[in-house]
Amino acid sequence: MPALGRAWQQRRGLGLDVAPALIALAMMFWFGLTPLKSLPGPQFELADKVWHLIAFGGLAGLLSRALAHFGRQSLQAAREAALLAVLLGGLIEILQSFTLYRSADLADFVADSIGVALAYAVLRGLDAAAARAEV
């Protein structure tokens, strides 16, 4: 685990640290604000909530790398990324309420927030593993 923590914290440049977060942000707004007949992938009860959990958890991880690229300490980047991802989830739900083909859903926002919380826990674990490796 210490090697994984160190690898996560290693900076790799704009193309690998920042661009994925920007692409994910664009995709979140695109998929969040366009009409969707159905979700891709297997259909099961609460599939929508699982997609929200994965998407916003992943976004938190990508935002954390982007913030760290610009000089934030890893835990600070993780906290700020988690806050940003939750705020973005809320913003998308609010924006959906203004469309004729989508609707805001508190359960979606809760799923977003749970995904972000799980990602934050993983990021904290990676930071702790990297710190242990330095000792």
State the alpha helices, DSSP H only, in the chain.
2-9, 14-17, 19-33, 47-69, 74-96, 106-134
90 vs 9, residue with greater confidence = 90
Q: Which two tokens stand for residue 25?
A: 């942000």
1 pLDDT exceeds 90? Answer: no
**Domain ranges, residue 21:** 2-33+49-134
**Letter for the amino acid at 35?**
P
Q: Per the domain annotation, does 44 fall within a domain?
A: no
- 22-51: pLDDT as tens digits: 999 999 999 888 887 766 667 778 888 999
**Residue 60 contacts residue 82 (beta carbons within 8 Å):** yes
Q: Per the domain annotation, does 42 fall within a domain?
A: no
Q: Per the domain annotation, does 117 fall within a domain?
A: yes
Q: What is residue 41's predicted lDDT score, i.e. its pLDDT?
A: 67
Q: Per the domain annotation, does 40 fall within a domain?
A: no
Q: What is residue 135's predicted lDDT score, i.e. its pLDDT?
A: 63
Q: Per the domain annotation, does 87 fall within a domain?
A: yes
Q: How high does pLDDT run on average in the chain?
A: 90
- 82-98: pLDDT as tens digits: 999 999 999 999 999 99
> Distance between CA atoms of 111 and 105, rounded to whole angstroms?
10
Q: What is residue 46's predicted lDDT score, i.e. its pLDDT?
A: 83
Q: Per the domain annotation, does 110 fall within a domain?
A: yes
Confidence of residue 132 (pLDDT cuts 50, 70, 90): confident
**Residue 130 contacts residue 2 (beta carbons within 8 Å):** yes
Q: Per the domain annotation, does 25 fall within a domain?
A: yes
DSSP 46: T
Q: Per the domain annotation, does 43 fall within a domain?
A: no
8 pLDDT exceeds 90? Answer: no
Instruction: Report in angstroms the alpha-carbon separations of 13 from 31, 55, 68, 70.
Output: 27, 23, 11, 10
HSE-CB of 118 using CA atoms within 13 angstroms: 15
Total tally of structural domains belonging to the chain: 1
Check: pTM over 0.85? Answer yes or no: yes
**Letter for the amino acid at 67?**
L
Q: What is residue 3's predicted lDDT score, i.e. its pLDDT?
A: 77
